[in-house]
C-alpha cells in the first residue's frame, strides 16, 4: 500500500492502480469519460484532470490526468485546485460545442453520464457561436439505435467492441473534429455483444431500440436483481418494468460472473415476455367440443387435482429453463421415478456427465471472471460464442493474459490499456480450439483443429494421456504428436490452465475427455494442480435440473409407448420442439391426461387438457443453477396480473387439493427453496444465494422503484380512481413500490444503481467494494459444487463406433437456438435461416450441392433442410441447427440424412 495525499488528506492506496480509480473508490466525485473499469485508461477525453504537486511546498502543481497517473507512494494531488477544475469545466464545454442538447427526446436522458458530468464539472453557459457539426447516423439493425450527433468521441464504443469483444465492424473513422463511430455502411452490428454499447456509451449515441418501442425513463422503472434465463452462463441482469410489462434488460454487475456486460441474447431476449403467444389465463385447449376454453383459477386447479387423483401413474417432465423450485415441486409431485427432463438423451447425458465430472474430480469450475484470468485454454468442441456467448467473451480476455503479463513485466501498469495493446500487438493465447466447424474465436486461437466430435474426444484423451500415462488409451486418436505435445506443454506451464467443453457436440465422450484432460494436468504439473474445468451447459437451469436427477425425455416417451403413463405434467417445455411434432403428438395421445405449465403457447400446450399460465423470470421468484454450479436467485421484478404465478405455486395449489400434504409447507418462495435444500444435499446452500425475506434496513424493506418514480397514482386511474395498494412481496426483502429503506442496501439487493450525482450505469463504482471488485457487502449467489480433489478415477470415454454416416452435430445460434429469446422480434430478425451444413467434399460424395434440399430424420422426427457448404467444417460431420425454425432438437443431436430418393 502507498500513502497518497488528496487535497491535503492522506490515504492508503494500492499503487498498482491509477489515481482515477483510487479517487472514485474513496468516494470522491471526479468526472471522466474514456476510462472504464473493464477497459482501462487511454487518456483521450482529458476530463479526469487533477492537479499534482511535486512536494509539500509546491502549491502551483501541474495538471495531470488521474486515469493516466499511478497512485504512487507519496503522490500529492488536488481535485479542487483551480487549474484542474477550470480545465474540467472547459473539457465539458468543448464536448458540448457540437452536442445537440436534445436531452428531452434522447433515450439516455435521466441516466446520461454526459449529463451527470456536465453538472459535476460545473459547465452551464454555452459560449460558442459557431454552427454545430452534424452527422448522418446509421441503421445498425433491429437492436441498437445510432445517433452520432450526440457523440463526444470518448472512444469507449470501439474499444469495447473491437478490443474487448473482438468485433470488426465498428470503427473510429475520419479525423480531427469529424471523427465518426460507425460501420463502413448501414447494417446490423455483427457482434453478439453489441448491446453493451448502450451502456458503454456515456451518452445517447447507441440506444436500445427495443426499449425505444415502449420507452420508459430510468426513474419510472421498477427493477429487481435477476438472472438471465437464456443460456447456462447465468449472467446477472436488471430487468425494468412499467405498466405490467418489461421495458428493457440491463447488465447487472456481478464481481465473479458477468462483470459489467451481457450478450445480446440476454439483453434483448426479454421481449418474449410480451409476445402475443403469452399464456395469461388457465386454459382447457381441448375443452367442450374440442374448443379452447378459459378456466377460472378454481376450475383449473380442480381439474389438475382431479387428474392427479384419478390417474394411476403420473409422470412429470421437468424443464431446464424452469427454476429449481418449480422443478422440485414437480419432482415431489410425481416422485423421483416419474421425473423426466425435457431434454434429448444426448443433452441429458452431457449435463449429467458434466456435473459428475465437476463433483468427482480435482478440477474446479471457474466463474466467468476467473476464466478471464486463465492463461492457457483448450476448448473441446464447443462454439462458445453461440452457445454461451459471455463465456466466449471471457476467453477473449483470457487470450490476453500471457501477452499482458509480458507487457506488465516491461513495467507497463495493467490499467494502461493503450500501452498494453501497443506492446501486445497481435499476440494472443495460448488458446487451442478443437471444433467441428469454424467459430468466432478462431481469430485468437494459437491453433485450430477441425474434427468430428468423436475425434475431438479422442484427441482430448490423447492429450490427457500425454500428460499422465495413467489415462487409458483409446483407439481413434487422429491428432499429430506435435499438436498433442504442444497443448500438453501449454497446460503444464501455464499458471492457470483451463479446459472447456459443453453439450454442443452432442457427445458425452467429449465431456468426459475434457474432464480427463483437466485432471491429467495435475500429474504433469509441478504444483500438482489440475486445470480448471468449465462446461457450457445449454439452458439456464440445465445444471440445476441435473442436480435434482431424472431421466431424459426419450425414456418418458418410451414409458408412454409401453402404456405405463396415465398423465403427464409438462413443466415449461415444448415437447414438439424437442422431440418433434410426430413423437410429441404420439406421446400426448398415449397419456390420457396432460397438464402444461408455461408462459408461452406452443403445440404441446395446444394438446393438453389444462394449461396453466406460468410466471416468467420477471414475474416470479426462484433459483437457477448455472454451468459453473452457482445457484442464483431471480427475484420478481413486478407482480403479474392475476392469475399468473410461478409454476410451483400452481403445482402446490393442485397438490394441496389432491391431498399431497407436503405442499402445505411451501408457503412461500423461501419455504420451498428450503425444502429443496433439505431434500437434495447438493442444493443445501440454496437459501444462502440471497438475503432472506425478513431482512430489514432501518425496519424497512428495499424499494424496487426509485424515489423519483412518477405517475403511480395515475397509472391505473382509468380502472379505479382510488390508487391501488401496491402488491405485497412476502418472498423477498423487496417491496413492489417506491417506499423503502432510506439507507443504501447491500449491493446484492440494490435495485437501482443510482448515487447522488451519478444517474448513469457509471454509478456502479459507488456500489463496488473496490473498483472491479465484488458488490458492497458481497456478490449474490452461492457455489454449490466444489471439486472433490484427489484421489479420482479417470472417466470412461466411450467412443461411438466409427461409422460411414455423417455425424450429426448441433449448430448453435446465439440468436434463434434458445426458445424464449427467439420470440423477441429483434432476436428473431437476426436469427439465421435453417440449413444443413456440410463439408463440400462430403456433399460431393453424396451428390449434393448448395441449396439442395435434404430430409433429415431422427426418432420419428424429421425436417427438410437446404444444404449450405462450409469448407471449414470437419469432414464426416453434418451441421444441423439447434432449434431454428422449429427444427426438432432431436434432429440436431441425432439426425440422419436421407439422401437418394
Partner 1 sequence: MKTPLTHTIRPKEPPLDLSQYRRTGGYRAAELTVGRTAPGDVVDLVKRSGLRGRGGAGFPTGAKWSFVPMGDDAPRPKYFVANADEMEPGAFKDRYLLEGDPHGLIESMILSGYAIGAEVGYIFLRWAYRLAYARLSRAIAEAREAGFLGHDIFGSGHAFDVHIHVSAGRYMCGEETGLLNALEGKRATPRHKPPYPQASGLWGKPTVVNNIETICAVRHIVFHGPDWFRELGANGGAGTKLYAASGKLRQPGVWELPIGTPLGEIIDEHAGGMTSGARFRATLPGGASTEFLTREHWDLPLDFDPVATAGSRLGTGTLIVMDDGTCPVGMVHNLEAFFAMESCGFCTPCREGLPWTAGVLRRLEEGRGRYEDIELLRHHAKLLAPGVTFCALAPGASAPLASALSLFGDDFERHVREGRCPFRAEA
Partner 2 sequence: MAALSSAERAEIDAEIAILPDARSASIEALKTVQRHRRWIDDDALGAVAEYLDLSKHELEAIASFYNLLFRKPVGRHVVLVCDSVSCWILGNEAVKQALEDSLGAAFGEVTRDDRFTALPMQCLGACDRGPALMIDEDLHGPVQPADVSELLRRYP
Q: Which is nearer to ligand SF4, 32 or 164 (CB)?
A: 32
Q: Which is nearer to ligand SF4, 63 or 715 (CB)?
A: 63
Place of cell 444441423: 880
- Which of partner 2, partner 1, ligand SF4, none does 422 bind, CB closer than 5 to 8 A by kind? partner 1
Binds partner 1 (CB under 8 A): choice among 407, 463, 553, 565: 407
Binds partner 1 (CB under 8 A): choice among 45, 263, 536, 784: 45
Q: State the number of binding residues for partner 2 (CB under 8 A).
A: 12
Site for ligand SF4 in 51-110 (CB under 6 A): 65, 67
Q: Which is nearer to ligand SF4, 35 or 164 (CB)?
A: 35
Kindly give, in sequence order, each residue whose CB lies less than 8 Å from that of residue 681, ignoring residues fewer than 6 positions away: none
Stretch that binds partner 1, among 121-129, 445-453, 735-743, 829-837 (CB under 8 A): 121-129
- Which of partner 1, ligand SF4, partner 2, none does 2 bind, CB closer than 5 to 8 A by kind? none
Binds partner 2 (CB under 8 A): choice among 58, 184, 561, 844: 184
Stretch that binds partner 2, among 172-180, 392-400, 761-769, 883-891 (CB under 8 A): 172-180
103: helix, coil or strand?
helix
User: Does position 336 bind partner 1 by CB under 8 A?
Assistant: no
User: Does position 487 bind partner 1 by CB under 8 A?
Assistant: no
Task: Write the binding mask 509 to 548 for partner 2: x where contact by CB under 8 A, - elsewhere.
Answer: ----------------------------------------
Residue 4 CB, nearest approach to partner 1 (Å): 19
* HSE (side-chain half, CA atoms, 13 Å) at 198: 28
Residue 53 CB, nearest approach to partner 1 (Å): 13
* HSE (side-chain half, CA atoms, 13 Å) at 705: 23
Distances (CA, A) of 631 to 389, 528, 536, 675, 690: 19, 29, 15, 15, 10
Number of C-beta neighbours around residue 757 at 10 A: 12
Stretch that binds ligand SF4, among 5-13, 36-44, 396-404, 788-796 (CB under 6 A): 36-44
Alpha-carbon dihedral sign for residues 306, 308, 314, 319: positive
Relative to beta strand 206-208, strand 180-182 is unpaired
Binds partner 2 (CB under 8 A): choice among 2, 26, 103, 172: 172
Which triple of cell numbers denotes residue 660?
A: 399431497
Site for partner 2 in 684-703 (CB under 8 A): none
- Which of partner 2, ligand SF4, partner 1, none does 20 bind, CB closer than 5 to 8 A by kind? ligand SF4
Stretch that binds partner 2, among 173-181, 212-220, 634-642, 654-662 (CB under 8 A): 173-181
- Which of partner 1, partner 2, ligand SF4, none does 48 bind, CB closer than 5 to 8 A by kind? ligand SF4
Binds partner 2 (CB under 8 A): choice among 82, 136, 173, 717: 173
User: Does position 148 bind partner 2 by CB under 8 A?
Assistant: no
Which has the closest alpha carbon to 542: 232, 260, 220? 232
**How far is residue 371 CA from its own chain's centroid?**
14
Q: Which is nearer to partner 1, 136 or 798 (CB)?
A: 136
- Which of ligand SF4, partner 1, partner 2, none does 445 bind, CB closer than 5 to 8 A by kind? none
Relative to beta strand 376-380, strand 497-502 is parallel
User: Does position 203 bind partner 1 by CB under 8 A?
Assistant: no
User: Does position 311 bind partner 2 by CB under 8 A?
Assistant: no
The string over 338-353, giving b where at least 16 C-beta atoms fall within 10 Å of a residue's C-beta and e elsewhere, is bbbbbbbbbbbbbbbb
User: Does position 176 bind partner 1 by CB under 8 A?
Assistant: yes
Q: What is the DSSP string of 744-809?
A: PPPGGG--S--BTTB-SGGGGGGGBSSTTSPBTT--S-EE------SS--PPP--PPPP-SSPEEE
Site for partner 2 in 82-111 (CB under 8 A): none
Measured CA to CA, the distance from residue 745 to residue 748 in angstroms comes to: 8
Place of cell 500513502: 3
Stretch that binds partner 1, among 89-97, 337-345, 372-380, 716-724 (CB under 8 A): 89-97
- Which of ligand SF4, partner 1, partner 2, none does 127 bind, CB closer than 5 to 8 A by kind? partner 1
Distances (CA, A) of 748 to 237, 253, 606, 646, 734: 12, 10, 40, 22, 11
Which has the closest alpha carbon to 819: 329, 437, 342? 342
User: Does position 175 bind partner 2 by CB under 8 A?
Assistant: yes
Measured CA to CA, the distance from residue 460 to residue 453 in angstroms comes to: 10
Q: State the number of binding residues for ligand SF4 (CB under 6 A).
A: 14
Q: Which is nearer to ligand SF4, 364 or 766 (CB)?
A: 766
User: Does position 599 bind partner 1 by CB under 8 A?
Assistant: no
Binds partner 1 (CB under 8 A): choice among 31, 40, 43, 204: 43
Which triple of cell numbers denotes residue 413?
A: 501498469
Q: Which is nearer to partner 2, 426 or 725 (CB)?
A: 426
Residue 776 CB, nearest approach to ligand SF4 (Å): 23
Site for ligand SF4 in 847-866 (CB under 6 A): none
User: Does position 424 bind partner 2 by CB under 8 A?
Assistant: no
Residue 254 CB, nearest approach to ligand SF4 (Å): 24
Measured CA to CA, the distance from residue 354 to residue 759 in angstroms comes to: 42
Return the DSSP state at 442: G
Binds partner 1 (CB under 8 A): choice among 102, 422, 478, 642: 422
Measured CA to CA, the distance from residue 847 to residue 825 in angstroms comes to: 37
Contact of 118 with 92, CB cutoff 8 Å = yes
Contact of 488 with 833, CB cutoff 8 Å = no
Binds partner 1 (CB under 8 A): choice among 3, 10, 62, 309: 62
User: Does position 47 bind ligand SF4 by CB under 6 A?
Assistant: yes
Q: Which is nearer to ligand SF4, 45 or 401 (CB)?
A: 45
Contact of 809 with 877, CB cutoff 8 Å = yes
Which triple of cell numbers denotes residue 330?
A: 414437480
Binds partner 2 (CB under 8 A): choice among 48, 66, 170, 675: 170
Q: Which is nearer to partner 1, 45 or 651 (CB)?
A: 45
Residue 569 CB, nearest approach to ligand SF4 (Å): 56
Q: Which is nearer to partner 1, 172 or 606 (CB)?
A: 172
Measured CA to CA, the distance from residue 807 to residue 896 in angstroms comes to: 8
Tally DSSP H helices, then E strands, for the chain: 29, 37
User: Does position 128 bind partner 1 by CB under 8 A?
Assistant: yes
Alpha-carbon dihedral sign for residues 717, 719, 722, 725: negative
- Which of partner 1, partner 2, ligand SF4, none does 865 bind, CB closer than 5 to 8 A by kind? none
User: Does position 87 bind partner 1 by CB under 8 A?
Assistant: yes
Q: HEC string of 137-194?
A: CCCCCCCEEECHHHCCCCCHHHHHHHHHCCCCCCEEECCCCCCEEECCCCCCCCCCCH
Distances (CA, A) of 486 to 64, 359, 404, 428, 490: 46, 28, 21, 15, 6
Q: Which long-range contacts (CB under 8 A, 24 or more apart) does 132-135 make?
A: 132/97, 132/98, 132/99, 132/100, 133/98, 133/177, 133/178, 135/180
Measured CA to CA, the distance from residue 190 to residue 207 in angstroms comes to: 16
Binds ligand SF4 (CB under 6 A): choice among 6, 48, 64, 388: 48
Residue 427 CB, nearest approach to partner 2 (Å): 11
| Site residues (vs partner 1, CB under 8 A) | 42-47, 49, 62-64, 68, 86-87, 90-91, 94-95, 97-98, 127-130, 152-153, 155, 172, 174-179, 407, 410-412, 416, 418-419, 422-425
| Site residues (vs ligand SF4, CB under 6 A) | 20, 32-35, 41, 43-48, 65, 67
Amino acid at each position: 500500500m502507498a500513502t497518497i495525499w488528496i487535497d491535503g488528506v492522506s490515504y492508503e492506496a494500492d499503487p498498482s492502480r491509477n489515481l482515477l480509480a483510487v479517487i472514485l473508490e474513496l468516494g470522491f466525485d471526479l468526472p471522466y469519460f474514456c476510462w472504464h473499469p473493464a477497459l482501462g485508461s487511454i487518456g483521450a477525453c482529458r476530463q479526469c484532470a487533477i492537479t499534482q504537486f511535486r512536494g509539500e511546498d509546491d502549491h502551483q502543481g501541474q495538471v495531470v490526468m488521474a486515469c493516466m497517473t499511478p497512485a504512487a507512494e507519496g503522490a500529492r494531488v488536488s481535485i479542487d485546485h483551480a487549474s484542474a477544475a477550470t480545465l474540467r469545466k472547459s473539457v465539458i464545454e468543448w464536448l458540448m460545442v457540437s452536442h445537440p442538447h436534445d436531452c428531452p427526446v434522447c433515450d439516455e436522458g435521466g441516466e446520461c453520464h454526459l449529463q451527470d458530468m456536465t453538472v459535476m464539472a460545473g459547465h452551464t453557459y454555452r459560449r460558442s457561436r459557431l454552427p454545430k457539426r452534424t452527422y448522418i447516423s446509421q441503421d445498425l439493425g433491429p437492436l441498437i439505435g445510432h445517433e452520432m450527433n450526440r457523440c463526444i468521441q470518448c472512444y469507449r464504443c470501439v474499444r469495447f467492441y473491437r478490443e474487448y469483444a473482438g468485433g470488426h465492424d465498428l470503427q473510429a473513422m475520419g479525423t480531427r473534429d469529424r471523427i465518426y463511430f460507425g460501420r463502413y455502411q448501414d447494417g446490423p452490428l455483427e457482434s453478439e455483444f453489441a448491446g453493451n454499447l448502450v451502456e458503454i456509451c456515456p451518452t445517447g449515441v447507441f440506444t436500445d431500440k427495443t426499449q425505444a418501442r415502449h420507452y420508459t425513463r430510468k426513474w419510472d422503472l421498477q427493477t429487481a436483481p435477476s438472472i438471465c434465463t437464456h443460456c447456462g452462463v447465468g449472467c446477472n441482469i436488471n430487468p425494468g418494468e412499467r405498466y405490467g410489462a418489461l421495458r428493457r434488460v440491463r447488465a447487472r454487475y456481478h464481481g465473479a460472473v458477468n462483470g459489467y456486460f451481457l450478450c445480446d441474447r440476454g439483453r434483448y431476449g426479454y421481449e418474449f415476455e410480451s409476445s402475443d403467444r403469452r399464456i395469461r389465463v388457465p386454459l382447457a385447449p381441448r375443452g367442450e367440443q374440442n374448443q379452447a376454453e378459459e378456466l377460472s383459477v378454481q376450475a383449473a386447479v380442480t381439474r389438475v387435482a382431479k387428474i392427479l387423483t384419478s390417474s394411476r401413474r403420473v409422470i412429470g417432465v421437468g424443464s431446464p429453463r424452469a427454476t429449481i423450485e418449480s422443478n422440485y415441486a414437480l419432482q415431489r409431485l410425481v416422485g423421483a421415478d416419474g421425473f423426466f427432463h425435457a431434454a434429448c438423451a444426448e443433452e441429458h447425458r452431457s449435463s449429467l456427465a458434466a456435473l459428475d465430472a465437476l463433483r468427482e474430480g480435482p478440477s474446479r469450475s471457474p466463474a466467468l471472471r476467473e476464466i478471464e484470468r486463465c492463461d492457457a485454454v483448450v476448448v473441446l468442441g464447443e462454439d462458445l460464442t453461440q452457445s454461451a456467448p459471455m463465456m466466449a467473451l471471457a476467453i477473449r480476455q483470457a487470450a490476453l493474459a500471457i501477452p499482458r503479463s509480458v507487457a506488465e513485466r516491461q513495467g507497463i501498469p495493467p490499467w494502461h490499456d493503450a500501452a498494453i495493446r501497443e506492446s501486445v500487438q497481435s499476440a494472443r493465447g495460448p488458446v487451442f480450439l478443437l471444433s467441428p466447424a469454424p467459430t468466432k474465436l478462431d481469430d485468437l486461437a494459437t491453433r485450430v483443429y477441425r474434427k468430428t466430435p468423436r475425434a475431438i474426444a479422442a484427441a482430448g484423451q490423447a492429450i490427457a494421456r500425454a500428460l499422465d500415462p495413467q489415462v487409458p488409451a483409446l483407439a481413434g486418436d487422429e491428432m499429430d504428436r506435435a499438436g498433442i505435445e504442444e497443448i500438453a506443454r501449454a497446460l503444464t506451464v501455464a499458471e492457470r490452465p483451463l479446459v472447456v467443453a459443453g453439450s454442443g457436440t452432442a457427445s458425452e465422450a467429449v465431456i468426459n475427455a475434457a474432464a480427463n484432460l483437466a485432471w491429467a494436468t495435475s500429474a504433469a504439473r509441478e504444483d500438482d494442480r489440475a486445470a480448471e474445468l468449465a462446461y457450457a451447459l445449454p439452458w439456464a437451469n440445465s445444471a440445476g435440473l441435473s442436480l435434482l436427477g431424472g431421466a431424459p425425455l426419450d425414456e418418458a416417451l418410451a414409458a408412454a409407448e409401453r402404456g405405463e403413463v396415465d398423465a403427464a405434467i409438462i413443466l415449461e417445455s415444448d415437447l414438439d420442439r424437442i422431440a418433434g411434432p410426430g413423437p410429441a403428438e404420439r406421446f400426448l395421445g398415449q397419456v390420457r391426461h396432460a397438464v402444461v405449465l408455461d408462459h408461452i403457447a406452443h403445440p404441446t400446450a395446444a394438446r393438453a387438457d389444462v394449461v396453466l399460465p406460468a410466471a416468467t423470470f420477471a414475474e416470479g421468484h426462484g433459483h437457477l443453477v448455472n454451468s459453473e454450479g452457482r445457484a442464483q436467485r431471480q427475484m420478481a421484478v413486478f407482480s403479474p396480473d392475476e392469475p399468473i404465478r410461478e409454476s410451483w405455486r400452481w403445482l402446490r395449489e393442485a397438490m394441496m387439493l389432491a391431498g399431497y400434504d407436503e405442499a402445505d409447507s411451501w408457503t412461500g418462495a423461501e419455504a420451498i427453496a428450503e425444502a429443496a435444500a433439505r431434500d437434495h444435499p447438493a442444493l443445501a446452500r440454496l437459501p444462502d444465494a440471497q438475503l432472506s425475506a425478513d431482512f430489514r434496513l432501518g425496519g424497512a424493506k428495499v424499494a424496487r422503484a426509485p424515489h423519483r418514480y412518477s405517475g403511480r397514482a395515475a397509472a391505473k386511474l382509468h380502472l379505479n380512481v382510488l390508487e391501488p395498494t401496491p402488491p405485497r412481496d412476502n418472498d423477498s426483502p423487496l417491496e413492489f413500490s417506491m417506499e423503502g429503506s432510506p439507507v443504501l442496501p447491500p449491493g446484492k439487493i440494490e435495485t437501482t444503481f443510482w448515487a447522488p450525482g451519478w444517474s448513469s450505469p457509471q454509478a456502479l463504482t459507488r456500489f463496488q467494494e473496490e473498483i472491479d471488485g465484488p458488490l458492497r457487502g458481497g456478490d449474490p449467489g452461492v457455489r454449490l459444487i466444489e471439486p472433490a480433489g484427489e484421489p479420482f478415477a479417470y472417466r470412461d470415454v466411450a467412443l461411438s463406433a466409427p461409422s460411414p454416416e455423417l455425424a450429426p452435430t448441433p449448430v448453435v445460434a446465439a440468436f434463434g437456438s434458445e426458445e424464449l429469446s427467439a420470440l423477441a422480434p429483434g432476436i428473431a430478425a437476426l436469427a439465421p435461416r435453417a440449413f444443413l451444413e456440410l463439408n463440400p467434399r462430403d456433399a460431393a460424395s453424396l451428390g449434393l450441392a448448395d441449396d439442395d434440399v435434404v430430409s433429415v430424420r431422427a426418432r420419428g422426427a424429421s425436417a427438410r433442410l437446404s444444404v449450405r457448404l462450409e469448407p471449414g467444417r470437419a469432414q464426416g460431420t453434418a451441421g444441423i441447427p439447434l432449434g431454428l425454425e422449429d427444427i426438432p432438437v432431436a434432429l440436431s443431436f441425432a439426425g440422419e440424412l436421407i439422401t437418394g430418393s
